[in-house]
Structure 1
Amino acid sequence: MPYYELYYHLVWSTKHRAPLLTAVIEPIIYQYMRHKAHSLEAIIHALNGIEDHVHMVVTIPPKLAVAKFIGQVKGVASTRFNKEHKEHPPFFWQTEYSAFSFDKKRLPYVIAYVNRQKEHHAQHELIPLLEKDGTEDQQQTIHEPMGIYLPNYDQWFKEMQAT
């Protein structure tokens, strides 16, 4: 069995950013997404959002492309909801999405950001880059100074031995 530490922060929106993820619908959609992610051998670390978009912090096995994972999770959630809950208006997602990768040291911070989505939006305290849903025309990459990736060798070696 392969060993991997792959962490992604995924963001996608409802079709036309319609406020479809109500207090009634959100837990149903999230349950479908969790079930599908589990069947794909992914681990959801955090899942939250507001009425018109979703944030997911997830580990996806390397045998599965990120785009394929997102397509399957979104597809199953909306298809099952529309089939099993005809009393509600139809549910659709935007085709676009955003995907960010990050390292294990940042995992607790990204989980906290996602878990506090409703608070962040209510207080207008957002990280704009992490709110993108892929509908923007230009790609953007976070660039960090190279120096942060050049640790003291002895310190790095001790950290690696401790894991």
Structure 2
Amino acid sequence: MPYWKLYYHFIWGTRNRLPLIDSVIEAEVYRAIAAKATDMGGFVHAIGRVEDHVHLVASIPPKIAPAKFIGDVKGNSSHFINHVIKPDFEFYWQDEYGVLSFGEKNLSSVVRYVQNQKQHHADGALIPAMEQMDEI
């Protein structure tokens, strides 16, 4: 097994940025995201959300491209929401996503930012680069 330390901050939203992720389904959505990430050999450092988007801080093995990783995580979690959490619900993620890589020395601050998403949005204390999901 190769040695690796790779850190990514993924951001993606609901289709049309609809406010679909509420406190009722939050824990289940987090579990679905974390389960797929772990199944792919990744390690989840933090998950955070507001009603229309999710942040994921994860380490993924170098054999998996970030695009493949996030595509599988998004696909698995939307399938889980539509078939297990809310059967017959039409829940979709947007096609786009944002991803930032960062070093280990920034891990704790990125994790804190993601874990405090609701407060950052309520206070308007956002870091624009850490909220970017598609081209400007």
SS in 1 for 2:46: strand
Partner of 2:22: 22
**Which structure carries more relative contact order (alpha carbon 8 Å, separation 6+)?**
2
Between the aligned partners of 1:73 and 1:116, the Cα distance in structure 2 is 21
Structure 1, residues 101-121: CA drift from partner, whole Å, max 9, x if none? 000001111001001111100
What is the one-letter code of the residue matched to 1:112?
Answer: R
SS in 2 for 1:92: coil
Task: Return the TM-score normalized by structure 1.
Answer: 0.80
Partner of 1:150: none
SS in 1 for 2:61: coil
> Which structure has the larger Rg?
1
Partner of 2:8: 8
What is the one-letter code of the residue matched to 1:117?
Answer: Q
Deviation at 1:85, TM superposition (A): 3.4
Q: What percent of counterpart residues are identical?
A: 47
What is the one-letter code of the residue matched to 1:121?
Answer: H
Indicate the RMSD between aligned Cα atoms, in angstroms. Answer: 1.2
Unaligned runs of 5+ in 2: none
Are the aligned partners of 2:25 and 2:85 in contact in 1 as well (CA < 8 Å)? no
Partner of 1:45: 45
Unaligned runs of 5+ in 1: 138-163
Partner of 1:103: 103
For residues 62-141 of structure 1, the aligned pairs below 5 Å read: 62-87=62-87, 89-134=89-134, 136-137=135-136
SS in 1 for 2:2: coil
How many residues align structurally? 136
What is the one-letter code of the residue matched to 2:89?
Answer: P
- Residues 1:85 and 1:107: Cα distance change in structure 2 (over 3 Å): closer
SS in 2 for 1:44: strand
Deviation at 1:89, TM superposition (A): 3.0
